[in-house]
Amino acid sequence: MARDVAVIGVGMTKFGEFWDRGYRSLITEAGSKAIIDARIDGKDIDAVYVGSMSPGRLIGQEHVGALVADYAGLVGVPAARVEAACSSGGLALHQAYLAIKSGLYDIVVVGGVEKMTDVSTEHATVALAGAADQEWEAFHGITFPGLYALMARRHMMDYGTTEEQISLISVKNHANGKLNPYAQYQYDVTLEDVMKSSMVADPLRLMHCSPITDGAATVVLASGEKAKKVCENPIWIKGSALATDTLSLHGRKSITKVEASAMAGKKAYQMAKVKPSKIDFAEVHDCFAIAEILAIESLGFCKIGKGGEMVENGETWIDSRIPINTSGGLKAKGHPVGATGIAQAIEATWQLRGQADKRQVKGAKTGLTQNVGGSGATCTVHIFSEEK
């Protein structure tokens, strides 16, 4: 019989540029915080999953599962790295959820980590380009700003979405990030700041883009039976879904609808037995500002093509109809790619525990996270609830 799965502990590092810290230092800090928060010991842990996109290219380190088990003092415990580009953290969470749901394990630690600033911007860009179609996209010189610029321009042409609407997302997410002590950027930006920032790939400007970031995040999952014994306020995972689309952008029927997100969202809603209207807040994958518009449309928070209007109407702020990216999102919180999906789950947990401080969504009972790999080739969606 399938079992209930809950989050019983969370922990993360601050996100940013850390010249004096290494990969193992970051994941060890996040993991230690999560285990302390869960009030468990190493002997209680059945397995470890770690989401990490490109440690081989970025720091020359492969064999990450063994590294994490070693430095966490968990030698002998099953440990494995999970990779799905920028959705590596979300996939690690999904895999751990399935392992507990099936009855294989009772308590699983799920981490995400990336150390991205020890290499040049050019080197990091090449590493990230591995999440695109190497033969048909990256080889010909297009990078992810270029791919998302194509998506943005088509959305603007088809639905009348404006640069101002896209820019308002950055304004909102910086306002939220200012309230998040773990965020890379903790300051406000104005609409003028965003719209006057340098052009990266028309129509996307520098302040429409998430940064290169170091950081780690960890959650501890437990079966329903274990959670009740060790945790006073478990947060229940009611839905966990994974979907894929074509790797290349040109292979899709539409470049303005993220089908993998729509499919994963539909499955997660079915599992949780909720509709989009019942979601109180969402953390979505705004690697570029246009991606937030594509996310809220694909997840059913508005009709396709109406995301820009929804943003312009102020419906996605913390105190509005459906708060989006209360953490600051990838834009302000930062985007250490392997850690992003786990950090989203941590924000959802804090919101549902009532521990989000000045970012707190009043009366939050159900939250959603959406973690995207590449230009939409992979997507994981999770739905969290304070109620079993």
Structure tokens at 201: 């790939």
Backbone angles phi, psi at 5, to 5 degrees: -130, 135
Residues 335 and 289: their CA atoms lie apart, in Å, by: 13
DSSP string, 12-43: EPPPB--TT--HHHHHHHHHHHHHHHHT--GG
H or E element at residue 262: helix 259-272
- The yes-or-no answer on residue 335 being catalytic is yes
Which two three-digit tokens encode residue 210? 């998430």
For 82, other C-beta atoms within 10 Å of its C-beta total 26
Q: How far apart are CA 256 and CA 22, in angstroms?
A: 38
Q: Count of CB atoms within 10 A of residue 372's CB? A: 32
Among residues 208, 335, 379, 382, which one is catalytic? Answer: 335
For residues 315 and 352, the answer to whether their CB atoms sit within 8 Å is no
d(CA 28, CA 6): 22
Helices (H), 214-316: 224-230, 259-272, 289-298, 307-312
* Token duo for residue 162: 């404006």
Q: Nearest 5°: phi and psi at 213?
A: -145, 150
Structure tokens at 316: 């996605």
CB-based burial label for 209 (10 Å; 0-12, 13-18, 19+): buried
Active site residue 140: no
Catalytic residue among 86, 231, 302, 379: 86
Catalytic residue ranges: 86, 335
